[in-house]
Structure 1
Amino acid sequence: MDIKYIHFVGIGGIGISGLARYIQAQGVKISGSDVACSCSTKYLQSLGVNINIPHNKAFITNPSLVIHSAIIKKDNEELEYARSKGISVLSRAEALKIILSKKRVFSVCGAHGKSTTTAMLSAILNKYGAIIGAQSKEYDSNVRAAKSDSVVFEADESDGSFLNSNPYCAIVTNAEPEHMEYYDYDLNRFYKAYSDFLDLAKIRVINAEDKFLSTLNIDAIRLYPSKDIRNLRFFLKDDEPYSSFSLFNDNKFIGDFEVWGFGEHTALNASLAILASLNELSIDLIKENLKNYIGIKKRFDILCNDNCVIIDDYGHHPTEIKSTLDSIKQYAKLKNIDTITAIWQPHKYSRTIHNIDGFINCFENIDKLVILPVWRAYEEPVDINFRDYFARYNPIFADEIKRNGSSIELIKDNRILEVLDSGIIVGFGAGDITYQIRGSI
């Protein structure tokens, strides 16, 4: 990369902070700004990055390029000032073309499982750089800042930016319609983006049982989970959840593998990562490196394992929630735990309404459902009758939750409505529920 200095506006976001850290590792000077401090800004500051809070045009000190996150508006004073000085201003999506153009990119996308699959793949290909949309517990970051020609990258279909990721190897976990507002609710446009993404790659690895991916007539390594993943078994090791399975592909035995986590979706994600690695490493090294994967933050993230088990999960779509609950039921069986409580913070009015039937059905066979207010994510409020929709669960409606050691307090009208202190308690959502259930910011 010939660019010497890049300033990032909105650097606190998980995606853009990871990109900034990766670029810094390539030898490029970086700086940034945001509206408030966050874990990401504090981490970057600890690495010597100059970050200013809040936005101010005075922070633009002659960078070669300014990159901004998707939520930054065009009239942001830093962006306007940079343009007035003739400095190139690009969105993160636009900047990917430049940043990844000369890299050998293992690009992972899909509506569900892409963060987990990317983290698993980065564990296997542990000499390559990695940029993930979540924090890998293996290296306690969303970035492996290796200076390498190869990079494992979590690509984002939500804004079409996966098309700018320069995939050498394209891995698609599934193509379930999501973020349809970006695609003007046009399924043809949505699916064409996935087809175009795959067409860009030299090597393609796909979940061939996905409804759309199964229809594609392309040269690809195809995983058929129902027949290729065999002898799936769940067990506890040092009280941590693990799965073991035998992997086949095109009727050929690949090997027996062990991976952190429970569930068929865990085996599926691991299998895609393994298949994408076959041309890079030996089977024995793939097996060994996969053991370095120990989960990612906010995905089946066990926070407490005392009188009760408290789990934080990012699931904010019915498919994700159902998969995690299936895994939790397996975990409960092995732990001899009788009750499961789900605390759900709906994420965005549009997503909730569009998937309401799925949300109604994904909480089947749990013992208690707690529903928090919708995390609006900049959307205008819409009236949704949760009480009627979810009546069969007899849900508890709380304003917020508070962590108190190994228990969770349900708060309504500034008073404690109920205290949860037994069984498994799992929080679902992509909003601030992760901070509420952790008792931290």
Structure 2
Amino acid sequence: MILKKDISKLKIHFVGIGGIGISGLAKYLKAQGAQISGSDITDNNATKYLRTLGVPITIPHNKDAINNQDLIIHSAIIKPDNIELVEAQKQEILILSRKEALEFILCNKRVFSVCGAHGKSTTSAMLSAIFPEFGAIIGADTKEYGSNVREIESQSIVFEADESDKSFLNSNPYCAIVTNAEPEHMENYGHNLEIFYGAYRQFLQSASVRCINAEDPFLASLELEACKLFPSKDIFNITYALKDDEPCTRFELKDLGEFEVWGFGEHTAINASLAILSAKTEREIEEIRKNLAHFKGIKKRFDILQKGRLTIIDDYAHHPTEIKATLESVKIYSDLKSKNKIIAIWQPHKYSRLLDNLEGFQKCFEKYCDELIILPVYRAGESEISFDMEKNFGHYRPIFARRLKKVGETIELIYEDKIIKTIDEGILIGLGAGDITYQLRGEK
């Protein structure tokens, strides 16, 4: 059977190889020795990079790309009638979704699997910095090595596990690290909290070693043997500084001494502490302390795009809890830089998330946002619905814009194809998981 073969001996074709999740698997499997090919609708940075590694890429999809490979792996957005999937069926080649493929890819690996509603990408990248000899597959590009994948052959791997589609249950965790278990993506759990929490329980029970944020209400209720972090009492003396003009958090953890990590905020100290504690049985504390300094942040998480009269920061935060934590970090940065005005540009991500968390969104901008600009909801494949943003967010006196445009070192707000405002000073923070990241960079 194909799935019992050594991965390094397989020919694997990826349909939708340009996506961050699929390209990550392709890069990782190539490093393990597999013969990789792929296809997508259009070229992007991921496909261009894979070509430099010698991976043949077919643009657009074409049935001729299927030529007796051992296995086809496709992204979630690929439909069953895709021309390549149809051809693979004719050739009787095994077809797996990314979610299904994870179990096969990770089944013989020693996996440090990180999941949670918030902070999993950052925690994964920090853990990857601590273990430089491990492979890694993360949901965002880490600035340490400029990729979401550390492409080395290794029995051990740091893996960012995704709870949104239950695929974390296929990650074969040796060590399960859970940052929090706040309900999210409930549409994939039938809006049933028992099923949702049951999946987290199953994930943790499947691991040999566990490390959890024990102040999360659900995680605190579990009677499982685990390394437990109690942030309110285990993390203390948190201070913030600019080190070479970059954000730096220093904190003391339990009786392990002081640590220093890139970024700002209590959530940064919590993420780093979970990484440290999960690594403690594998590494000496001094080595952990030294290696953690290699973490330089990840793309789209407090990503400082521009410094100067106008500082521009891009952040993936798209949930009220994340937005509140990000704005707290911006406030720290503002105080250290002696800049007074914080301008938030928010692109709501999905109508379902907006409606499910409306009360949280209505409150999360209250404390640290001097001016709020709201862009249209990024639908992410959902149908448009009628929703009165002005009524629900009018208490902030926001500016509503259709899009933004980067011009030199300024940001122009556009509405009805007219410039309604130019922002040229202060700290501007972009918030959202849609295309706001490309607008801020002047790429769209």
Q: Is the 8 A contact 1:255 1:283 kept in 2?
A: no
d(CA) in 2 for partners of 1:137, 1:405: 24
Matches within 5 A, 1:278-357: 278-357=280-359
- How many aligned positions are there? 437
d(CA) in 2 for partners of 1:44, 1:374: 32
d(CA) in 2 for partners of 1:155, 1:287: 25
Structure 2 unmatched ranges of 5 or more: 1-5
Describe the superposition over 1:67-112 as per-residue Cα deviations: whole angstroms up to 9, x where unpaired.
0111111221111110121100000110011110110000000000
* AA aligned opposite 1:435: Y
d(CA) in 2 for partners of 1:36, 1:358: 37
Describe the superposition over 1:299-318 as per-residue Cα deviations: whole angstroms up to 9, x where unpaired.
00000001111000000111
Matches within 5 A, 1:354-393: 354-365=356-367, 366-393=369-396
Displacement of 1:212 = 0.7
Instruction: Give secondary structure in 1 for the equivalent of 2:419.
Output: strand
Displacement of 1:348 = 0.6
Q: Is the 8 A contact 1:35 1:55 kept in 2?
A: yes
The aligned counterpart of 1:258 is: 260
Instruction: Give secondary structure in 2 for the equivalent of 1:35.
Output: coil
Instruction: Give secondary structure in 1 for the equivalent of 2:188.
Output: coil
d(CA) in 2 for partners of 1:156, 1:172: 11
The aligned counterpart of 1:207 is: 213
d(CA) in 1 for partners of 2:119, 2:57: 31
Q: Is the 8 A contact 1:111 1:173 kept in 2?
A: yes
Displacement of 1:255 = 2.3
Mean CA deviation greater in 46-55 or 313-322: 46-55
Displacement of 1:405 = 2.0
Mean CA deviation greater in 318-327 or 51-60: 51-60
d(CA) in 2 for partners of 1:424, 1:148: 42
d(CA) in 2 for partners of 1:325, 1:70: 32
Instruction: Give secondary structure in 2 for the equivalent of 1:254.
Output: coil
Matches within 5 A, 1:117-128: 117-128=123-134
Instruction: Give secondary structure in 2 for the equivalent of 1:73.
Output: coil
| 1:13 equivalenced with 2:19 (yes/no) | yes
Displacement of 1:171 = 0.2
Describe the superposition over 1:127-177 as per-residue Cα deviations: whole angstroms up to 9, x where unpaired.
100000000000000000110000000000011110100000000000000
d(CA) in 1 for partners of 2:154, 2:248: 31
Instruction: Give secondary structure in 2 for the equivalent of 1:387.
Output: helix
* AA aligned opposite 1:260: W
Percent identity over the alignment is: 61
Q: Is the 8 A contact 1:312 1:427 kept in 2?
A: yes
Structure 1 unmatched ranges of 5 or more: none
TM-score in terms of structure 1 length: 0.98
d(CA) in 1 for partners of 2:305, 2:235: 30
> Which structure 1 residue ranges, 4+ long, deviate > 6 Å from structure 2?
none
The aligned counterpart of 1:163 is: 169
Equivalent position to 2:149, from 136, 143, 147:
143
Displacement of 1:402 = 0.7
d(CA) in 1 for partners of 2:53, 2:11: 16
The aligned counterpart of 1:238 is: 244
The aligned counterpart of 1:181 is: 187
TM-score in terms of structure 2 length: 0.97
